[in-house]
Copies of this chain bind each other. A is one copy, B any other.
């Protein structure tokens, strides 16, 4: 964990920015989540620990954490963005129920294989991907 903090510090310095306690606090909280989150949740978690971090700082820090590769925006729901910590995860896909909002993750090596093949053919260097599938979950498809 500490090496992730250190890497982030180096990244910030390398960009000519200033390393602040607020940025570190936000990063530590996100690393502790190890899962999906949105700005509101993160803000309330920090607030619950008597942190004085503002939402503005969270909004300002997120793009940095995406750039350094620690988190990704994975989908929009309820009118706002949801992120996930990508550090300990394989690339995967999301099923999102358009009615109840339930999100399910899945992994499939054939998808990863296919994507590797696209990479070889395309000449791109792939860094990450998102596969989001929208529809109705088994429960909601029954209910009218």
Contacts and interface: CB of A to CB of B under 8 A. Distances in A.
A125 B136 contact: yes
Interface size class of A (residues with CB under 8 A): 20 to 34
A21 to B, nearest CB: 26
A95 interface: yes
A119 B122 CA distance: 27
A133 B141 contact: no
Interface string A103-144: 010101011001100110011111111111111111001000
| Contact residues of A: prevailing secondary structure | strand
A58 interface: no
B127 A134 contact: yes
A98 interface: yes
A76 interface: yes
A134 B125 contact: no
A97 interface: yes
A122 B134 CA distance: 12
A122 B98 contact: no
A114 B124 contact: no
Closest 5 CB pairs of A and B: A123-B138, A126-B135, A129-B133, A125-B136, A125-B141
Interface of A: 76, 93, 95, 97-98, 104, 106, 108, 110-111, 114-115, 118-119, 122-138, 141
